């Protein structure tokens, strides 16, 4: 029978117990932002939007114009709705307050508006990552404390992949579900219900250019992923885009591991906890996988700063647990 499941219908039918209308509406807001950002990214080669915006963000990196657009789209769509009490973005040094004239709601939005910035102006896949928490304390809601929560306390997380087509993948803790944007209809349609990490895994994704910066345990780990070890080694192919969302998405569909390890002199690694590693850790958990900083679950890390970084290993559990074993042995 002909049946089209739009994201609106799906969100409504799968509202979690704690969700009132606000939570559902917030997911719609994000879906709308996804359409706006998708429209702009698809036009990137046609307009004057490519290239740096001439500003440097809080990480000390050149900001691209599309980063700025994506960041503004999310803030403008979400700051006046009464659904959020505070936001945090990779592109902004401090938390984003709800303007005084608007009511503060129950939810906290953390996001990386457009990740994979090195890929923007070479027409390679990029993505948005988001996570949603609830406030900590009703009276004082809207503070940094509301944002600095461990990923285990997320009530929803997801990403938008701007690839060959645009996809929105999210979870509220009840499975991971993927939607593909039908640009003719202008709507996200359910295309990947109940995504689960397949076994056996197919890929490993790591930047081999960093080989000289890794400790012996990390080098041994990557050699193991390559099949260069005794015993029960995995049989994997290498794939690395350098866009976290795209690398994650491919590995979610085919099975595998993405790793951005600690480096000598840079023990914190590169990936940001709050709005990159945390939401993806939540998703992989609900797809049957595991995410670790090499020592324990990403889900359990209590953030201490908005832009804190973590070493990051995410994918099929056996592949992730191997680095934990090697790092214990290295001590
Ligand atoms: P960004 O937030 O500046 O875009 O950096 C994060 C990106 C991730 O998408 C990707 O996994 C990683 O950086 C790639 O880093 P590298 O180019 O060092 O391999
Ligand atoms: Mg990023």
For residue 157, what are the β-bridge partners? 131, 171
The per-residue pLDDT for 1 is 56
Verify whether ligand 1 is closer than 6 Å to residue 125 (CB atom).
no
pTM score, whole prediction: 0.94
- Cα gap 272→159, rounded to integer Å: 15
Query: Which pLDDT tens digit goes with each residue over 199-254?
Result: 999 999 999 999 999 999 999 999 999 999 988 899 999 999 999 999 999 999 99
CATH superfamily of 7-192: Fructose-1,6-Bisphosphatase, subunit A, domain 1 (3.30.540.10)
Ligand 1 centroid to Cα of residue 230, in Å, is: 32
Segment 292-304 shows an average pLDDT of 98
Q: Where are the domains of the chain?
A: 7-192, 203-330
Verify whether ligand 1 is closer than 6 Å to residue 91 (CB atom).
no
Residue 161 predicted with pLDDT over 90: yes
Surface-to-core class of residue 212, CB atoms within 10 Å of its CB (0-12 exposed, 13-18 middle, 19+ buried): exposed
Ligand 2 centroid to Cα of residue 168, in Å, is: 17
Ligand 2 centroid to Cα of residue 127, in Å, is: 9
Q: Cβ(127)–Cβ(33) under 8 Å? A: no
Strand duo 312-315 + 290-292: pairing: antiparallel
Q: Which atom of ligand 1 is nearest to the CA of 90?
A: 2
Provide the pLDDT confidence category of residue 129 given band limits of 50, 70 and 90.
very high
**Helix axis angle, 278-286 to 244-254, nearest 10°:** 10
Residues with CB under 5 Å of ion ligand 2 are: 112, 115
Q: Which atom of ligand 1 is nearest to the CA of 127?
A: 9
Query: Which pLDDT tens digit goes with each residue over 168-214?
Result: 999 999 999 999 999 999 999 999 999 999 999 999 999 999 999 99
The per-residue pLDDT for 107 is 96
Q: Residue 181: which of 202, 157, 160, 209 has the closest Cα?
A: 160
State which fold the 203-330 domain adopts: D-Maltodextrin-Binding Protein; domain 2 (3.40.190)
Verify whether ligand 1 is closer than 6 Å to residue 324 (CB atom).
no
Ligand 1 centroid to Cα of residue 31, in Å, is: 24
């Amino acid at each position: 029978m002909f049946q089209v499941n739009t994201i609106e219908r799906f969100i409504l039918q799968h509202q979690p117990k704690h969700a009132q209308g606000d939570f559902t509406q917030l997911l719609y807001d994000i879906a709308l932002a996804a359409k706006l950002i998708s429209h702009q990214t698809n036009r990137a080669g046609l307009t004057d939007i490519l290239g740096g915006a001439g500003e440097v963000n809080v990480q000390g990196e050149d900001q691209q114009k599309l980063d700025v657009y994506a960041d503004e789209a999310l803030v403008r769509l979400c700051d006046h709705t009464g659904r959020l009490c505070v936001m945090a973005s990779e592109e902004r040094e401090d938390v984003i307050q709800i303007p005084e004239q608007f009511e503060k709601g129950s939810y906290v939005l953390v996001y990386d508006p457009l990740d994979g910035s090195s890929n923007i102006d070479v027409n390679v896949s990029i993505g948005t990552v988001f996570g949603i928490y609830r406030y900590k304390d009703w009276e004082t809601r809207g503070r940094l404390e509301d944002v600095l929560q461990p990923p285990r306390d997320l009530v929803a997380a997801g990403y938008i992949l701007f690839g060959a087509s645009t996809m929105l993948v999210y979870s509220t803790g009840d499975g991971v579900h993927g939607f593909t944007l039908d640009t003719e209809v202008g709507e996200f349609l359910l295309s990947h219900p109940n995504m689960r990490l397949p076994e056996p895994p197919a890929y490993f994704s790591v930047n081999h250019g960093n080989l000289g910066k890794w400790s012996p345990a990390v080098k041994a780990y990557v050699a193991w992923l390559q099949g260069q070890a005794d015993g029960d080694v995995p049989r994997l192919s290498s794939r690395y885009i350098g866009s976290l969302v795209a690398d994650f998405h491919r590995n979610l569909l085919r099975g595998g591991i993405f790793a951005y390890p600690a480096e000598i002199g840079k023990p914190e690694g590169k990936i940001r906890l709050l709005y990159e590693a945390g939401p993806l850790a939540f998703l992989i958990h609900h797809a049957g996988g595991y995410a670790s900083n090499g020592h324990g679950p990403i889900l359990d890390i209590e953030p201490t700063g908005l832009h804190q970084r973590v070493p990051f290993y995410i994918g099929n559990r056996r592949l992730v647990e191997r680095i934990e074993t090697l790092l214990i042995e290295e001590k």
